[in-house]
Structure 1
Amino acid sequence: MTPGKLAIVVPCYNEQEVLPQSLPVLQKVLQQLIDKQLVKDDSKIVFVDDGSTDTTWSLIEQASHLNQAVAGVKLSRNFGHQGALLAGLSVVADADLTITIDSDLQDDPTAMIAMVEKYYEGNEVVYGVRNNRDSDSRFKRTTAEMFYKVMGFLGVNLVPDSADFRLLSQRATRVLLSYPEKNLFLRGLVPLVGFKSDKVYYRRHERAAGTSKYPLYKMLHFAIDGITSFSVAPIKLIMSLGLLIVGISLVLLIYTIIQKMRGDVVSGWSSLMVSIWALGGIQLICISVIGEYVGKIFNEVKGRPRFTIEKNLYNKTKNEQGENDD
């Protein structure tokens, strides 16, 4: 087995509180991988600053100056978690294998050792999968289960309880980067890459420091993005809903005519108002769903870049090493 070069991509957004804790842990795991001769000694930890407004980038720059195994990428503004991940993957596309992991240490960094071992068994994609959801609230566990069931019902191939903690081979990374869409939902895109895959199970921990960057409204928006990016089933459901309402209205029309012929006419102000409000709400929901798809089409056809890199210490480090070799 010939060790490959590993790049650990870590997206960061306002993580000044957690970086001093996560960096030593990631460095320790990387050194263990090097000592076991599973990866080359020029492997890197690449932090991607997604437009942070605190001292996150300063900490990354400082760490990169003190340790050659650390590099950083600074985006020009906040492009979102998925955009930051993709930016990191594009920068380290020369690596033989890449692992993406969040900086909050909720995903167990020691599981990366098992991931790399799975890679050498011939797997080009290795998913980090939670073995339980004990650290989540009851509400979050319930909504997560519902999300995976809905996505499965809509025909979207996801790995349950797997987020963005995963390993990709160089070939898998390049195939993933070849997908041109702007509406990114990497949890759905990665399974489309294909290739042989496996899973590594781990226990998810509490956040080491700082606050979560995914409050409820962001999680809901993320779920809607996932559904509308990979399935047109909601639009088809609107058609089914419309046909159902038409059917109900025909039944009520026949019922009204029969009652009229029998002379049994009852004042129906309440039922009329309820019907108007119900149909009005359904129409607004349907328009919103269609608008979501139209909005995605609008964003895609503009062809704007998915991210903009302001500073790239990873390539700078490579160039400096080349000069030193000369």
Structure 2
Amino acid sequence: MKNKPVLYIIIPCYNEEKVLPITAPLFKQEIMKLINRNIISVKSKIMFVNDGSKDQTWNILCELAKKDDCFLGISQSRNRGHQNAVLAGLMESKDQCDITISIDCDGQDDINAMDSMVEEYLKGNEIVYGVRSRRDTDTFFKRFTAESFYKLLNWMGVEVIYNHADYRLISSRVLQEFANYKEVNIFLRGMVPLVGFKSTIVYYERHERIAGESHYPLSKMLSLAFDGITSLSIKPIRMITGVGFVIAVLSFIGVLWSFVEYFIGETVNGWASMTSLICFIGGVQLLCLGILGEYIGKIYLEVKARPRYIISDRTYTKTTICEEENK
């Protein structure tokens, strides 16, 4: 059995002033339960990542850290999105702990599933994915679109875990290797499996949001889905090539047919058919250009290599496990 690992729970926060007073004690209760079970170190912490909140979220996090050294907080210089906030917490904690568990702040993910995640780590798994056992709390539209999204990603060749979001345990060993992935366009649930290492799944039930409102509307969900496809798969480009080839063949056949009709004297002036043909080919061309433009735009962002996150403030002095052991 491994030595008791230092656990950091990574929690991204964006305008969570209503839910933090409720969920912060629940996270503290869970980490104390794991410590009392003697399966994690007493040095384990809860790290909140403030993603440029506009309300009192950061002030609440500072108060939590001031009253209890179990709580840590870092604040991004501006809002950069959920994926970048999770990444910031993972990268900032990878030298300070043995394992991390990332989870949302709203209390929808079952906090008690952390017990099983740590147990699976102690059995030798470096990554433990939290997977929803069912989607009863979702509307039909959200359930249908989410499940279709996972199926679409798998069809596109993206390696994702079905019904897994960003609730997962990752060892520091994996994070050290993951730090070598320098993409600016981040889709963690598709990137983490690329690192490899032994992994497993823990199933849990997802609940209703405890308080406040969701900060992930349909527009952001669609944006995340498109980022996931274009960041990790080139299949859309290959599909464009296939569609272009088919249209080229059909166009060539159409040209031959028009010549035959012309020479046998049965040509008819067909404005409607010509207009339909032009609109169809024009629409396909514009769609293909749009998809190619998305890839070119991502290349543009990657080449600039701007920082994926910037920490403007923190509630603690950053140290490493090695530094603490040498004290």
Normalising by structure 2, we get a TM-score of: 0.94
2:105 counterpart letter in structure 1: S
Q: Which residue of 2 aligns with 1:143?
A: 145
| In 2, Cα distance between equivalents of 1:50 and 1:283 | 39
Q: Which residue of 2 aligns with 1:69?
A: 70
Q: Which residue of 2 aligns with 1:31?
A: 32
| In 1, Cα distance between equivalents of 2:118 and 2:39 | 7
Moved more, 161-170 or 273-282: 273-282
Among 157, 160, 176, the residue aligned to 1:158: 160
Q: Which residue of 1 aligns with 2:15?
A: 14
Q: Which residue of 2 aligns with 1:5?
A: 6
| In 2, Cα distance between equivalents of 1:267 and 1:210 | 63
Q: CA deviation at 1:286?
A: 0.9
Q: CA deviation at 1:318?
A: 8.3
Q: How many residues align?
A: 323
Q: CA deviation at 1:289?
A: 1.0
Q: Which residue of 1 aligns with 2:222?
A: 220
Q: Which runs of 5+ in 2 are unaligned?
A: none
Among 259, 270, 273, the residue aligned to 1:271: 273
| In 2, Cα distance between equivalents of 1:48 and 1:271 | 58
1:98 counterpart letter in structure 2: T
Normalising by structure 1, we get a TM-score of: 0.94
Q: CA deviation at 1:148?
A: 1.6
| In 2, Cα distance between equivalents of 1:4 and 1:314 | 21
Q: CA deviation at 1:25?
A: 1.1
2:82 counterpart letter in structure 1: H
1:5 counterpart letter in structure 2: V
Cα distance, 1:258–1:202 mapped onto 2, change above 3 Å: same
Q: CA deviation at 1:263?
A: 3.0
| In 2, Cα distance between equivalents of 1:314 and 1:125 | 27
Q: Which runs of 5+ in 1 are unaligned?
A: none
Q: CA deviation at 1:316?
A: 5.5
1:183, 1:300 within 8 Å by CA — same for their partners in 2? yes
| In 2, Cα distance between equivalents of 1:104 and 1:223 | 21
Q: Which residue of 2 aligns with 1:48?
A: 49
1:86, 1:177 within 8 Å by CA — same for their partners in 2? no
2:4 counterpart letter in structure 1: P
| In 2, Cα distance between equivalents of 1:274 and 1:219 | 34
Q: Which residue of 1 aligns with 2:245?
A: 243
Cα distance, 1:191–1:314 mapped onto 2, change above 3 Å: farther
Aligned partner of residue 315 in structure 1, secondary structure: coil
| In 1, Cα distance between equivalents of 2:141 and 2:282 | 30
Alignment of 1:44-193 (within 5 A): 44-93=45-94, 94-193=96-195
| In 2, Cα distance between equivalents of 1:226 and 1:175 | 21
1:20 counterpart letter in structure 2: P
Moved more, 89-98 or 7-16: 89-98
Q: CA deviation at 1:78?
A: 0.7
Which whole-Å deviations, capped at 9, do the CAs of 1:176-235 have from their partners, x for residues lacking one?
122111111111110011111011000011111222121111111111111111111111
| In 2, Cα distance between equivalents of 1:121 and 1:98 | 16
Aligned partner of residue 304 in structure 1, secondary structure: coil
Q: CA deviation at 1:89?
A: 0.8
Q: Which residue of 2 aligns with 1:312?
A: 314
Q: CA deviation at 1:309?
A: 0.2
1:58 counterpart letter in structure 2: N
| In 2, Cα distance between equivalents of 1:209 and 1:256 | 66
Among 234, 248, 252, the residue aligned to 1:232: 234
Moved more, 243-252 or 126-135: 243-252
Which whole-Å deviations, capped at 9, do the CAs of 1:14-39 have from their partners, x for residues lacking one?
11111111111111111110110111
Which whole-Å deviations, capped at 9, do the CAs of 1:139-168 have from their partners, x for residues lacking one?
222222222222112211110100100001
Over the matched positions of the two proteins, sequence identity in percent amounts to 47
Q: Which residue of 2 aligns with 1:301?
A: 303
Moved more, 115-124 or 139-148: 139-148
1:152 counterpart letter in structure 2: N
